[in-house]
Each structure stands twice: as C-alpha cells, then as structure tokens.
Structure 1
Amino acid sequence: MNPAGQPFDTGPGGPIGIRVEIMLDPSGNDWTDITPYVYYRDRIRITRGRPDETSGAQPQTCTLTLNNRDGRFTPKNPLGPYYGVLGRNTAIRVSRLVNGSNDPWYRFYGEVPSWPTTWDISGSDVYTQIQASGILRRLNQGNVPEGSAMRRAYTLSAGVSSAVAYWPCEDGQTATSLASALAWPTGTALTLSGQAPPSLSNFTGFLCSDSLPLLSASIWNGAIPADPFNGTDNVLRFLLAVPATGAFDTAVIARLFTSGRVARLDLQYGSASNGSLQISGYSVSGTLLFSSGYVGFAVNGKLLRVSMELITSGANITWATTVLSPGASGALSASGTLTSSATGSAYGVVINPDGHINDTAIGHVSYQSVWDSLFNLAQPLNAWIGEATADRFVRLNFEEPGVSASAALTGSVFDDSVTMGYQLSDTFTNLVQQVVDTDGGILFEARDQAELVLRKRVSLYNQSPQLTLDVSAHQLSAPLAPLDDDRFTRNDITVSRINGSSARQALTSGAMSTQSPPSGVGPYPNGVSISVGGDAQLTDQAGWRLLLGTVDEPRYPSISLNLRHPTFTSNPALLVAALTMDIGDRVAVLNLPGWLPPDPISQVLQGYSETLGVFEHDMALNCSPEAPYRIAVLDDSVLGRLDTDGSHLAANYGPTDTTLVVTTAGAAFGNSPLWTTSAGDFPFDIAVGGERMTVTNIVASTPPYHQIFTVIRSVNGVVKSQATFTDVRLWQPMVLSL
C-alpha cells in the first residue's frame, strides 16, 4: 500500500515518475497534484481508441486507486480539503516522465464521474477506486436529437449573432402554441388563433428543418422582447413554401410592428407571375409610406427563405424584401429608400394576420435588430450538403457546448474530394459518427486535453512507420498471435446514401472473392448507409470498403511492449517513438521468426491499453493491416504501377532459376495488356507463390502472350520451387484512393 509518485523518472531501473492531477480551480488554470495519494497495488490502467478497424469509437478510460484516509476524495465530506470543488466529472490527467527529464508525456485526459469510497473491516485502509473516462462517455448518454440544421444555426452556432426572437415552428401535431427556441423569459411562444388551427408537423420539404406547419387559415401572434443588442435595424425572416397552385391573392403573409416611422411592415402575396411578393410600409396612422409593388419572384412551388428589412442608412431607411432558395448562388430582391426616417424597436409579429392563407408552410421565424446577409445561413439552409468531412466535424464540435475538436491531417498530401450529405436532425454523437463513416477515418479522444480528434482517412495513406520494432532485438514483450481468419472479411458491399440511391461492388475473382473455396472464400455481403454529398460518390465508397474487407494477410490484433525493458530504456529514440505514437499511426515489426510469413508486419494503430506502476509501463497495441492505405501515387516507381489482369508461370521452375516464362492469358484475346518491356520501367518486384522476386528485364516470346522475365529470386527470404500456373502479380499493386 505504498503511496506512489516520483518527482521525475530516474532512468533505467528506477521509478518512472508518474504524475496524476485533477482540476479543482474554477477558472480552469491550476491543476492539483494528487500523485502522493495514488496506490500502485492496483496499477494505473489506461485504454484508448478502439479494439479493431470495424468498431465505433470507444471512450478512453483510466482506472486507479487513491488513498482516502483523510476523506479528501469524498465529495460530500465537509471536512475534506476538496469539499465544494470535487465532484462529478472533475477533470483528471495522467502523465509520465522520461529518463531524467521533468517534462511530462501525457497518457490520459478525462473526467471522473464518481468517487466511490471503500474501506476494510478495520477501517484503517480507506481508498477510492475511480474510473475516469473521456468526454465520449458523457456525450454518448444523450439521446435527444440536437435539432435541424436551421435550428442549430440559430441556437448553437455564431450564424445569427443578433437574434432577438426565434420560433423554429417544428412543434408536434398536438401543440397549442409554437415554442420559442430562446430561453425564457426572453423567448415567449407564438400564440395561435384564427378560423382553424394550423396543420402542425405536416410539411417536410425543407431538408434543413424538421416538419413544419401549414397555415390552414390560422393566425400566429408573437411578442418581440426588448432588444439586448441595441440594434438600429428591423429584420424579420422565415422559411416559406407556397404550393404550386398558389395562395390567396393579396393575402398578407407576415406583418411586423415597430415604434419607428414605419410602424407596420407588411409582406403580401400576389397571384400574378406564378407567385409575386409585395413589401409595404405604413405609418402609425395607417398612411402608406412606400410599396415595392408586386414583384415577380415566381414563388409558387419553391422553397424559400424570405427576409423583410428596414435598415438604417444615415438619416434614411433602406427597405427591402429578399428571397433565397436552398442551394442557390444568388438571391432575388426588391428595395428602395425612405428618406429622413428612423427605425424604432420592433415589438410584435403576426403571421397570416387576415387568416386567408391555407396550404402554405412557414417556419423558422426570426427577428433581429442588426442586419446581416441572407447568405450567412446559406449552408444550413441547404442542410450543409457538400460540406467537407473535416469542416463538418469541426463545426459540429464547435456548436456543441463544452466540446472541442481537431481533424488530424498530418503528413497528408492528398486532395480529398469526399463530401457530406444533408445534415438531418439527429443526436450529436450520431452526427459525428456520420462524418467518420463517410470519411473512413478514425475517431478518438486526445490524451492531453478534452478534445475529439478525427484522424482523417487521407492522413493514413502511405505513412512512414512511427514505431519500428525488431523481434530479434527482443523489443516485444509477448509472442505475436497472428489471426488469419474471416472476422472482417467483406467481399460484396452495398453502400446506400441516406435518402438517396445505392451502389454495389463485389470481388468476383481471386483468393478473397465471392467464389466458393478454393477459388475464393464464398460470399460475405455487407450493407452500410452513409451521409455522402451525392449518389455519384457511392460507387467509390463501395469500392473502398471492398478493398478494406478483402485484405489477404494475417491480422495482428495485439502487439505487446514493455517500455521498462532495457531495449527501450537504453534507446531514448525508441522509447519516445512509443510514447508519442497515436491512434492511426503506422507500426512496423521486423525480423520475424521463421514460422511466420517472412515479410515485415505493417499495421495501423487502432487503439491501445497501457498499465503503469512504480517501475512498470506495459502497452498492448490494437492493430489492423496497413496494406489498404498504400495508395497509388502517379509516376511513383513502386506505388504508381498498374497490376496485371491475370498472369501465371508457363512452366515449372527450381528455386534458383532466374529466367521465367510468364503467360498473360487475356492478351491472347486482346483483353489484357502484356507486361512492360521498356528499359526505364525496371526494376520492380513481383509476387509468385509467396516469393518476392525483383524483375530486371522482360522480353517478348512466342506465342505473343508469353514473355520471358529475368528475375532476382528470394528477395524476401523465401526459397522454393515454383509450379506451372502459379499466379504472378505485382508485389505492390496500384491501389486507388477513395
């Protein structure tokens, strides 16, 4: 039961210098060091990432035991020194030092949801065993949809910074009023009256919104609260969908009341020109001050966001009405100037004040006192379709209170054309997972701060190893356990776009194909639904998943390390590489024993667990094959070569034969090109029955679909005879990226 925690790592053989800190400072600046209270009898155990490449993101965890004899880790103990500041979700971080340095290497950052106290029968051993978790644990507990794209734009982002009143109008079918999305008492509901109630939750045409009401001759009245922004403009905006058959001619769609010279601002519908709009301003006595006349916007059958505006312009007022369709590059507008006039404060809004409009949908009614461009919400108006995956990930996290995020692109030189589809109403974690599914990257939590990280797929391409391990140098602490199984085999893939079409890709020939064994492995169908920017991307998405699901090499789900072994403590560069590697990095293992395949192991780190004690630091790496991420690079001598469509040996050969006749059967029928004979294309490597050979020259032969290869044998240490009809392939075939 010795308390642990050393001031620094004393080097090989000494304590490793663990530091455990909690955040008790309300300002979030000063950490409290609780290292002297850490018990190592249970070790500190940390998990990060995910167990494999097909699993979703898991909250990172840290378990440890604390000495609680003085009750400091009992939140409700009024005599404890941390009383009043220790509680649920107190932040905690764990770090270690390296070979005499006092600079911390952070291993974990998270929150402690509870502080359970336990003691032995004698009462002399009082301790608290905690399990801290990353912010994903807390976020995953929420199951309430975050709201539509438009609602989020008003309430969670900086899209509208001066909204004085806002009514989404997404209320359920039995609602008796339309709720404000702003906090009470500032936000009050729209009251409903008129000849009949609105047909609530009826119109689904706007993808940026949940279902909206049809007016159905109802009248909506709303009070506008005092302006906290001291603005000098009057701007009323809303979504509008007039049916293709039109609406009641001359009906007032919306009316705004103000204390300024323009006491009443009306927007009317006209049946001419396939649906026209007229904006008019009246004095407090009802005198007409201005009118645009009916402008032929052709609103019938269109989805629109409409703006009614009185903008202070020196001593004058600029009045306008503007309409914008989802996805449009330009807006339509009618405007004019009311001279020698000033705006006032708005105090009321009425929708369909005469009750004449029936089948028209209206929603997301807002009032703001500071004008901004209607295009400021052009992207949420179109439900953010076409947004880059990294942009959506960062934006979603920016909108979510208390969450920060980054999209890791380190080392990427690839242009990524994958875009997101419509952002529909869903929970925060589901929206984030849609980004991860579409991008194909890895979601995890940072170990040094409360941050979600998207390791983008393109950052996984063609990586150099972050950590290179040598089996012959005893750098692994446990034997490798390769698995050559079908757990993640998927060779018939159907990808569907949410609310869209689908595409299918299947591997119909080769060792991992849908053919029955021994020609293939049999069918392994799989279907996924993703949010992607258009149906044209679905074929590539299916092809990429087919590539991931047909990797023909063993998996190494666990690679074990002892970071206190002399091979690490005496090699600072290797130790630092192990401590700095993170989720998505490439790990290579060299000099494998003779009973394993001879080629180096190359894996992508999906997650890991680590155990820390006074003198111990063990890690177990969860990995998946890196091969699918070796992506084609134009004109590259290794990654830029197109593989054969099917070739094989034309005869039997001994283990030392260096001249081979290769048949490209498809060439006899003009269906497949022959291998290159250009001198500048040599050398390159081929795979023949598990043996790696380097081709130094190819010349023509007879019949014309035969070619003579000059090769260097046993490049990977495999020495064997090769039989007729043995498949001949590029060692590193060209792989096209998503």
Structure 2
Amino acid sequence: MPLIVEMGWGGLVQYPSTITWTDISRRTDMGRGVTITRGASDERSETQPGTATLRLDNADGALTPGNPSSPYYPYVRRGAPIRISVAVMPAPTGSAPYPLEMLGDDFDDDRVDTTLWPTNYGGATEVDGRARIPVSTSGNAGYQSARQWTLAGSQITARLAKAPAAGGSSSAYASMTVSSTTAGTRLGWRYNPVTGQLTAENQVGYSDATPVSLTYSPISHAWLRIRETSGTVYWETSGDGFGWTVRRTLAAPAWVAAQQVTVEFPTTRTGGASDYVEWDLVGATVRPRFYGMVNEFPVDWEGLTSYVSITCTDLFKRLNKLPVLRSMLAQEILAQAPMVYYPLAEDDDATSAGDIGGYGAPALAITQAGSGGTLTMSAASGPAETGEQAPLFTPSTATQGKYLSVDLGPQFEDPPMYQYLCFEAWFQTTTTGRCILGVHTPDRADQHLLSIAAGGGLQIEWAMEGGPLTTEAVSSPTTLADGNWHHVVYDQREGKVWIDGALVDSGLAVSRRWGERVLHVGGYRNTRLWAGSIAHVAIHSTLSVSAGPTAVGHWTAGTTGYAGEAADERVQRLAGYAGLPSVTVWGSTHDPIASQGPGGSSVVARLREVEATESGRLFAERDWYGLAYQSRDVRYNPDPMSETFTIDYADLEPGISIADDDQKLVNVADVNRPGGASQRVTAPASILAFGEYEQNLSMLKTSDNSVLDAAYWLVSRYANPAPELREVPVEAYTMPNYLDILDADISTYFSVTNLPAQAPAPWMRVTVEGYTETIKERSHLFQFHTSATNNDSVWVLDDATYSVLDFTTRLAY
C-alpha cells in the first residue's frame, strides 16, 4: 500500500493539466500518518472543505520557505498544489501462470527482487524507491521478469518516474514491453529521448510498420498501461494513474491468448552522454485520496531534526477566498473577457465611472456640454434583475448638459486583435434623437455611433476617412423610447444587431474600421445628450466573443436572472463565475431555480443556496480541481447490487453504535420562496409524540407547489427517524475488498451485516455522508460518517420493498 504524495511546485492548483508533479512520498512520516477529512457529519449538514494533514521530513531544508538552496526554490510557499493517492500493489496468488495484473513491485526496499526480476542486467538497480536503469553507451540494460504471466484479460501498469535525456545521442530508447515466446514479437511502449516521441508499438521481428507516436509529455504520460480486454489490446496513458486515455487499440495478436509472456524494461543508447530512466509502481492500482493546496509550510524542530507539519485544503479554500459576486448580468459580461466594461453603478457622489474589464482602461469622466443639466450616478434603478442603480442623465437641451467620455488609449487601436468591435449597452429613455454611445479616432476621421432616431428606432451612424456621417436604420421596434430598459448588441464584423435578446437586423452595410478609441456615453461630442439612463456599457473584440449568445444571455441575465433554468445548469453557471471549467453532475432530477440576479454574495453561498433548495450534495472532487453536484434522486431506492461494499460487524473496529435521538427530527416545516407564499407542513402524529421540532427554510423555487413538495419531503423523512448507524470504523487495509472500500465516497452506500442480537435488525444499509481516513504503514483506517439509506426511499407502486404502508410509501420529490 504505497502512499503517493506529490507536490506541484510552481503550478497553480486551478490548472491541473499544466502541473508537473514531484513525488515527495519518502518524506512523509508514516508513523504519524496522513489524515484526510471529507464530506459532512450527517445528511442534514453541509459538506465541509476537505482537508489533509501530514508531517514531512525537512532534514535537508528543502521544504523551508525562502531557502535558496532548496531544489524546489522559490516554490515552497503557501498555496502550492498537492495531491495524495494510495497505490494498491498486487501479489501473485495460486500457482503460475499468473494474470499479468498480479505483477507488482514498488521498488521501496532498494533491492532488486530477483523472484520478480530474475534477469536484471547492464547495471539496473533500485535507488530511492525506484527501478533505475542506465541508458548508456556501455551496453543494453534492463529488468526482465520470468515467463510466468498471461496478458489475456489482464494488464501491466507502470509509472515513468524519470525519462532519460537525449544527451547528444544519435539513438536512444527506454521501453516497457510484453514479449511473446518469439524473439522480437512484443507489445510495448517505447520512449525516444532524441525525438521526444513516446510510441505505442506492436512489434513483429523487432519492428512495427504502423506505430502510434505521441509527443511525450511528463504531465499527460506519467503513467503507461497495456491492457487486453475481450480480444482487444489497449495502449493507455495517464497523468495520475487513475484516469486513463486510450492512445491505440488493436485486435489482440493470437499469441496474447495462447502464450505466457515476459515483462521487460530495456534500454539502449548509441553515442552521447549516459543517463538513466526510472520506473516505479509496476502493477499499481491507484486511488486518489486528496487534491488541493498547502496552507503553509511551518518549519519545526525536534532537537536537530527538522519537520514541516502541513495542513492542506481542497478547492473550497480558493473558492471561499474569491471576492463576492457582482450581479449575474455583470458576471456574464465579465465571463466574455470584454476589452472594456463600464457597469456605471458607482455611488451617487461619484464624478467618474470605472472600467472593470481588467485591461486597465481609464475611467469615463463626466463631461460638460454647454452649461446646465445634471448627471447623477446611482439616481435611477438599473435593469430589473441586477439590483443595481444606474446614472440619470438630465440635460437642459440636446446640447446643454453632461455626458461621459474617455480616450481609451493607443493600446485600444492596435490591430489585428481589435480591428472589429462589438458594442453592448443597456438604456432607458423617453426622448428620441439622442446618442447612446459613440467612438471615433483621435483625429475624428473614423466614427461609429449608436443612437435613437427621431422616430424612436435604433440607428447606426458612421463616417470614414473624414467623410460625413452616414445613417443606417435598424429594423428594430419603434418604441425604444418608451421608458423601459432595453439592451442592444451591435457586431461590427457581422453587421448584425440584437435588441432585447432578439436578432433584428443582419448584414448591415456599415463600414468597419479600427482605431476608434475615444468613447462617449450618453452624448456625442457635446451634442445629442441623452435624457434617461444608460448602464453596463461594454466593448468586446469580435475575435473573442460570439455576439449572438452574448446578446441573448445578457438580456436574460438582466431581465430574469435566468429564473427557471434547471438546478444543474445553475450550478454549472455559478461554477463558471469561479473559473471552474465544468462540474460533474450526478442524477437527473433538477428543478427550476429562481433568480439569483443581484450581487453581494460569494459564489459558494450561491452554490449552497441551490444545494439546499434541491436537497442535493455539493463537494470537491478528490482526484482533480473539480466540483461535483449530486441531485437528490442519486439516493433514491439504491440497488443492493450497486453497494460499494459489504462488511461483517465482526470486521469493524471498536466504536460502532446505534443512535436514536432527536438530532434530525423535523415535524414542522415553515417554507417560503422569493416572491411566493409562506407555507407550513406538519406531521401531527410526530408532534403529539415528541412536541414541535420546527425547521424554517427559504428556497429558490419558482412555484409555491415546488416549495410545498420540498417541505413534505423534509417532514416525511424526519418526522420520526428510525434508529441508525452514524459512525462506522473500518480498518480497510486488512480487508480483501480494500479497493472497494477506497471507492466509497459521498452518497455511496454499503451494508453492515451480522449485527449483534441486540441490534434492531440483523443488518443495516448506510449512506456515506463523509469520512475521516488515517493512512499509516500497513494501516488505512476509515471513520465513515453515515446515515440510514432508507431515509431516501421513495414509493414504487406494488413493490414489495418500496410500497410498505407508512414506511416506504414516501412520494418522490
């Protein structure tokens, strides 16, 4: 059971695919062990950020922050990525021939196992827990097993811990092969440091006419595997030994099923400087336990011996440190990476408006045209679902008043990236013939304006090379000056215009130029001053934004806050605001969610609102920087055949008990939703027996009936909870189903059988809510936090198990 502890020195935890991992497993104090916590204490509590604690040897000072002599300097610092895994090593059982998956060697004793590798040559040895094989001009070198293994229905896995350098060679190779009884007939992976190619080969006569070659990546190709299943051979690579990518497939040669094979790790070199390749964890089955970041590296001493005792936290540490979200509309605009973005939501005493696009554009300044008129920030209500205020433009006349303007700077006119622009703005007015926004070159030779025509429709105006303004009317509604908020998106490249989320014109004959960097908002060059409000002005590069989805999505965000989208879609959307590329979604029951349009809360808080509304589960993945969301139906009526494992009471560690208290009891649910009714659901029999146990909930539902359904679901589950096992301690390392136990995670379930006679039942099925695991030398102790699985059973008509009156006739929600 080797423990794998790896540090991503210099990497960023949120970009796992760019991290080159360094194995520091041998520094881990296995006497004290590694402790990992995950999940929640029970099903009515939120999942907590996952943590890992471990002590590392620092005798050489390599883990001292700021130590310039450290081989990891300057990356020994807070926030360093870390991942922890367990490698389960096989051992041959029975008599030869053995399935190849039973060939396992972790090389940790620094002595060649001559039983597994009776042939080792050319100076091949074990160093620092790895098989080290010279890649030398002195001759071939390698490890070779006995011929006692079969590949059919089996596999061979190894970690390529260190690839050799080219060293000026004309030819050099390091390979992992599975060989038939015919010389030169073999399957394998071969790395060529001269070309940097990793090749999946099916050799006959020492060659393969159609190999599959990859440009070697120490990140993506850290693990290699050859596997045979149902007559097909697979060559696979992995970055962590857990998630595999198929690189080549082939109908299995006849010898795979007919012959016993050898495994060999050979090397060869012609010319150049000698080097070596290192292999590790041959035959390992890897199970990730933790992915996150180190909080700090505190250096401690015991006499002259130095250690660092680190505590690590999963992705929720970073998510919890993110700033509070702006309105959903603002977040959607920011997600498009605009060139400039002026929300225009400053306080009422502001005299300028700032860009939050992130590229450092200067602020819009209030500019006086003529005399008189006012422009007051935060004096009007913005688009409905933003919860923000907007500026109020109140000119005396079309030429007497105030507007906003700025020179965006020479970087804004730099072609080719910015040669075509996409303009976006929200506006509100009852006055026609005024300008929403306009841009021009410093010499005013080229100009572009968006304005409201005298008839109330939208128009595009432009001029080129000093010529007069030309006007193009847009086929838009003639009621834009109706006092309501409207949204416009104009794509220069495509000549298209969207108003209020709908495409209203395309192929406009408008000339497209670049270099228009002077921006005016709410007027244009001291004239056509806006009367009303303007908000959320953004300019995008058409090379990086798709205008159609932008127009539709931003209109929806500003007017409805995406009210009515499914819960899984909302979770994905919120995760995107946090920079997470995707969310793993489990289950299929996803109710519509109400708006979360206004800003002011963190992304985690909004995610938790969805989780609580849906009785779902939200947690960090344990193998990469990812988020998982489970809908409530993941737990409905679990199939006994899908249990993660079954364990006998006699195999449990001391400390098991059955709870029957009022910790989870709820018999009165007072519930409400935004803009909806306040409702109550009770369980009279429970109230009579135990008194009132009330729960108040505010849910992001879109209908009162959905709120009522959620309340019934809560009360029906917890009006009279049955006795249950809440803590199940398991020493997994000694169990024959060790791998199955390692696979247990939040919302999986298992059964405890042969309970003592005093128990209410001879066996109990429990659902995993969380766990604490402690990994030591030859020990892997789990403390599972569990709940009764039947809490989530739902009615199935005429089913012997799930239609028992007053017990399993709970209607699904």
Provide the C-alpha distance between the structure 2 equivalents of 1:404 and 1:230, rounded to a whole number of angstroms. Answer: 25
1:148 and 2:323 equivalent?
no
1:109 and 2:291 equivalent?
yes
Change (3 A) 1:263 1:76: closer
Paired residue for 1:719?
none
1:377 and 2:544 equivalent?
no
Provide the C-alpha distance between the structure 1 equivalents of 2:439 and 2:284, rounded to a whole number of angstroms. Answer: 65
Where does 1:120-135 land on structure 2 (aligned, <5 Å)? 120=302, 123-135=303-315
User: Contact conserved, 2:445 with 2:467, CA < 8 A, in 1?
Assistant: no
User: Contact conserved, 1:468 with 1:590, CA < 8 A, in 2?
Assistant: no
**Cα drift, residue 262 of structure 1:** 6.4
Paired residue for 2:484?
302
User: Contact conserved, 1:109 with 1:446, CA < 8 A, in 2?
Assistant: yes
Paired residue for 1:736?
811
Paired residue for 2:272?
none
Provide the C-alpha distance between the structure 1 equivalents of 2:616 and 2:520, rounded to a whole number of angstroms. Answer: 48
Choose the corresponding residue for 2:532, options 335, 360, 366. 360
Provide the C-alpha distance between the structure 1 equivalents of 2:19 and 2:469, rounded to a whole number of angstroms. Answer: 60
Post-superposition Cα deviations, 1:561-615, rounded to whole Å, max 9, x if no partner, equal 11134xx1xx2xx322211011111222223222221263222211000111112
Secondary structure of the equivalent of 2:285?
coil
Counterpart amino acid of residue 635 in structure 2: L
**Cα drift, residue 292 of structure 1:** 2.5
1:559 and 2:741 equivalent?
no
Counterpart amino acid of residue 544 in structure 1: W
Provide the C-alpha distance between the structure 2 equivalents of 1:140 and 1:365, rounded to a whole number of angstroms. Answer: 29
User: Contact conserved, 1:237 with 1:305, CA < 8 A, in 2?
Assistant: yes
Choose the corresponding residue for 1:506, options 676, 681, 684. 681
Provide the C-alpha distance between the structure 2 equivalents of 1:295 and 1:534, rounded to a whole number of angstroms. Answer: 33
Change (3 A) 1:269 1:54: farther
Secondary structure of the equivalent of 1:540?
helix
Change (3 A) 1:379 1:391: same
Post-superposition Cα deviations, 1:490-520, rounded to whole Å, max 9, x if no partner, equal 22212222x422442322333x3x33xxxx3
Secondary structure of the equivalent of 2:613?
helix
Paired residue for 1:53?
43
Paired residue for 1:460?
635
Secondary structure of the equivalent of 1:75?
coil
User: Contact conserved, 2:574 with 2:607, CA < 8 A, in 1?
Assistant: yes
1:347 and 2:517 equivalent?
yes
Counterpart amino acid of residue 542 in structure 1: A
Provide the C-alpha distance between the structure 2 equivalents of 1:83 and 1:431, rounded to a whole number of angstroms. Answer: 38
Provide the C-alpha distance between the structure 1 equivalents of 2:327 and 2:364, rounded to a whole number of angstroms. Answer: 19
1:469 and 2:650 equivalent?
no
User: Contact conserved, 1:75 with 1:82, CA < 8 A, in 2?
Assistant: no
**Cα drift, residue 334 of structure 1:** 5.7
**Cα drift, residue 619 of structure 1:** 0.6
Secondary structure of the equivalent of 1:236?
strand
User: Contact conserved, 2:669 with 2:682, CA < 8 A, in 1?
Assistant: no
Post-superposition Cα deviations, 1:215-251, rounded to whole Å, max 9, x if no partner, equal 2333111334225653554442211233xxxx33433
Choose the corresponding residue for 1:237, options 424, 427, 448. 424
Paired residue for 1:484?
660
User: Contact conserved, 1:229 with 1:369, CA < 8 A, in 2?
Assistant: no
Q: Which segments of 5 or more consecutive residues in structure 2 lack a partner in the other structure? A: 12-16, 91-282, 396-401
Counterpart amino acid of residue 317 in structure 2: R
Change (3 A) 1:238 1:526: same
1:637 and 2:799 equivalent?
yes
Paired residue for 1:210?
388
Paired residue for 2:161?
none
**Cα drift, residue 344 of structure 1:** 4.1
Secondary structure of the equivalent of 2:319?
helix
Q: TM-score, normalised by structure 2?
A: 0.67
Counterpart amino acid of residue 181 in structure 1: I
1:590 and 2:772 equivalent?
no
**Cα drift, residue 529 of structure 1:** 2.0
**Cα drift, residue 560 of structure 1:** 0.9
**Cα drift, residue 308 of structure 1:** 4.5
User: Contact conserved, 2:590 with 2:614, CA < 8 A, in 1?
Assistant: no
Counterpart amino acid of residue 85 in structure 2: S
Provide the C-alpha distance between the structure 1 equivalents of 2:83 and 2:517, rounded to a whole number of angstroms. Answer: 51
**Cα drift, residue 68 of structure 1:** 1.2
Provide the C-alpha distance between the structure 2 equivalents of 1:260 and 1:235, rounded to a whole number of angstroms. Answer: 19
Paired residue for 1:17?
2
Counterpart amino acid of residue 721 in structure 2: D
Change (3 A) 1:301 1:543: farther
**Cα drift, residue 179 of structure 1:** 0.5
- Which has the larger displacement, 211-220 or 482-491? 211-220
Post-superposition Cα deviations, 1:274-316, rounded to whole Å, max 9, x if no partner, equal x55454445676745234299523542423212345456xxxx
Provide the C-alpha distance between the structure 1 equivalents of 2:711 and 2:529, rounded to a whole number of angstroms. Answer: 47
Counterpart amino acid of residue 620 in structure 1: Q
Where does 1:288-437 land on structure 2 (aligned, <5 Å)? 288-292=469-473, 296-308=478-490, 310-311=492-493, 318=495, 322-324=498-500, 330=502, 333=504, 337-338=508-509, 341-353=511-523, 360-370=532-542, 372-373=547-548, 374-381=551-558, 382-401=560-579, 403-409=580-586, 412=587, 414-425=588-599, 426-437=601-612
User: Contact conserved, 2:567 with 2:590, CA < 8 A, in 1?
Assistant: no
Paired residue for 1:530?
699
Post-superposition Cα deviations, 1:355-399, rounded to whole Å, max 9, x if no partner, equal 776772211111234272222534433322222222222232233
Provide the C-alpha distance between the structure 2 equivalents of 1:470 and 1:252, rounded to a whole number of angstroms. Answer: 74
Provide the C-alpha distance between the structure 1 equivalents of 2:509 and 2:444, rounded to a whole number of angstroms. Answer: 12
Paired residue for 1:137?
317
Paired residue for 2:440?
257
> What RMSD over aligned residues (CA atoms) do the two structures have, in Å?
3.0
Counterpart amino acid of residue 49 in structure 1: G
Provide the C-alpha distance between the structure 2 equivalents of 1:172 and 1:395, rounded to a whole number of angstroms. Answer: 28
Post-superposition Cα deviations, 1:700-728, rounded to whole Å, max 9, x if no partner, equal xxxxxxxxxxxxxxxxxxxxxxxxxxxxx
**Cα drift, residue 201 of structure 1:** 6.0
Change (3 A) 1:536 1:323: farther
Paired residue for 1:658?
none
Secondary structure of the equivalent of 2:385?
coil
Choose the corresponding residue for 2:366, options 192, 201, 207. 192
Choose the corresponding residue for 1:540, options 698, 704, 709. 709
Change (3 A) 1:299 1:232: same
Choose the corresponding residue for 1:624, options 787, 795, 809. 787
Counterpart amino acid of residue 657 in structure 2: A
**Cα drift, residue 47 of structure 1:** 0.7
Provide the C-alpha distance between the structure 2 equivalents of 1:431 and 1:83, rounded to a whole number of angstroms. Answer: 38
Change (3 A) 1:103 1:467: closer
Change (3 A) 1:44 1:388: same
Q: TM-score, normalised by structure 1?
A: 0.73
Change (3 A) 1:201 1:558: farther
- Which has the larger displacement, 86-95 or 27-36? 27-36
Post-superposition Cα deviations, 1:23-44, rounded to whole Å, max 9, x if no partner, equal 2265844322212221133221
